[in-house]
A = this chain, B = another copy of it.
Amino acid sequence: MGLDSDIRKIPEHLLDSDDPLYAFNKVIVDATAPYCVAYKPNLAFYESMGVQGWLALEKTVAYIRQRYPQQFIIADAKRGDIGSTSEMYAHTFFDTMKVDAVTLAPYMGEDSVKPFLRYPDRWVILLALTSNKGADDFQLVEDREGEPLFEKVLRRSQQWASADQMMYVVGATHGRMLEVVRRIVPDHFLLVPGVGAQGGSLEEVCRYGMNSRCGLLVNSSRNILYARGGEDFADAAAEEARMLQLEMKSMLERYLK
């Protein structure tokens, strides 16, 4: 469940509360917790509100931790910097904010990722093949041997950590290419955005991407968060989440290997 909580899109009646983003998230979390396994706040939406946004984010994480301790929390931050800076980011997300996982960009290579792997019970989720159009610009560029960049990222980063500490972002919009991904990383969990608003097919994702322990964290954000805009937004969000969970359940029955 992606918490891309946008102050411009949340129901109007919440704007009067002290912390509208937190008020919105609490209701969304309560409504969707029965149907999901993880929450993924998108840092951009909180940072855009400065200090107030960070407060809302910290309170949201604490709320989920306290009320729904079985839920996994992913900071969707797409960070990546030199080692000494990555250490600070790792400290931010794992010590200060206490999330379970953080998304990282691979462009700066191994030493930009390593500091996050020093936390034994936390996860790095590395961008491999993203869901957006710009994924074509560099991720699909082939090297001399015909290996596209995203495959190189998958292969090389497996030397940095095992499937117990590393996952990959693979966009649902690439459908059948999940088959290629699975040949390289049969055991890793994949975080799959792009179902819903971005047009990816859940059926294709599961057909080509599921492994013996499912191995997929399929994300939905906007479709659920903004299912309806009025006072009953929670019911609509719960209903959307429930429907996606049901769909996922039927996919599990069909494709779990």
Q: A55-B51, A82-B132, A144-B146 are in contact. Are A107 and B110 (CB under 8 A)?
A: no
Give per-residue flags for A87-130: 1 if the beta carbon is below 8 A from chain B beta carbons, else 0: 01101100011000000011111111100000000000001001
State A83–B92 Cα separation when bound (angstroms). 25
Task: Identify which of B4, B132, B143 contacts A83 (C-beta below 8 A).
Answer: B132
A199 to B99: give the CA distance in the assembly, Å.
Answer: 34
* Chain B neighbourhood of A146, CB < 8 A: 144
- CA gap between A48 and B130 in the complex, in Å: 27
**A131: contacting residue among B82, B138, B198, CB under 8 A:** B82
CB-nearest residue of chain B relative to A88? Answer: B44
Q: How far is the CA of A113 from the CA of B144 in the complex (A)?
A: 27
In the complex, which residues of chain B have a beta carbon less than 8 angstroms from the beta carbon of A156? 137-138
Give the contacting residue for A111; candidates B96, B112, B134; CB below 8 A.
Answer: B134
Interface-facing stretch out of A15-23, A73-81, A232-240, A242-250: A73-81
Q: Indicate if the CB atoms of B47 and A89 lie closer than 8 Å.
A: yes
Q: Are A108 and B127 in contact (CB under 8 A)?
A: yes
A110 touches B137 (CB 8 A): yes
Residues of B close to A86: CB separation below 8 A:
44
In chain A, residues 140-159, which have Cβ atoms closer than 8 Å to a Cβ of chain B?
Answer: 141-144, 146, 149, 152-153, 156
Q: Does A50 contact B (CB under 8 A)?
A: yes
- A interface with B by C-beta (< 8 Å): 4, 6, 42, 44-45, 47-51, 54-55, 58, 78-83, 85-86, 88-89, 91-92, 96-97, 105-113, 127, 130-139, 141-144, 146, 149, 152-153, 156, 193, 198
